Amino acid sequence: MKADGDTMRELMEYGVNAPARQIFLQSLLGREEDQENNPSERVIRALLYLDRAAFCDPITLFINSGGGDVDEALAIYDVMRSIDCPVHTIGTGIVASAAGLLLAAGDTRVAMPSCWFMAHHVTADTDSDHPERQRIQQAQLEKYRDQWVRLMAECTAGTHTLRWWRKTMNSTPDSTLVRAR
């Protein structure tokens, strides 16, 4: 699939270097009212476009993100895992929180020497004074935590087990910051 000039300019504006098959995620993942500025939407569209453009040619996703919304990260994760092309991930700058799952989900993963990682327990704001609603929100939060740990274990199966991830996430302080080197 060959992109015309307008498509190429639009992709470049969205942090995609289509000829090199590179995508750049350099912001927090969040739900923006304006879908044009939603980084997850841009990454998903770019993954799908590049997957159609050249069957099975690798895509490289550069990640420099402080994380953000878990649902948004899970949406990108699902697309990364469902497309035919391999997705290689490279951590640059900081890879924190939900962005860590995206780095781990790469078919191959690399961290640049100056890259920092931050992991923490999945958190959410409880916006209710009503005890039943708080209980429901807490139950959903526990499901997110379990899903996050399970997915991280699947992505890092060669180096870390589900047991290791559960133990690490339950024994660490609220957040842990480490350097790649």
The catalytic residue positions are 97, 120
Paired tokens of 95: 């890879």
101: buried, middle or exposed (CB in 10 Å: 19+, 13-18, 0-12)?
Answer: buried
- Residue 124 has phi, psi (to 5 degrees) of -155, 155
Query: CA 146 to CA 181: how far, in whole Å?
Result: 29
Q: How far is 94 from 33, CA to CA, in rounded Å? A: 25
How far CA 89 is from CA of 98, 110, 130, in Å, comes to: 14, 6, 42
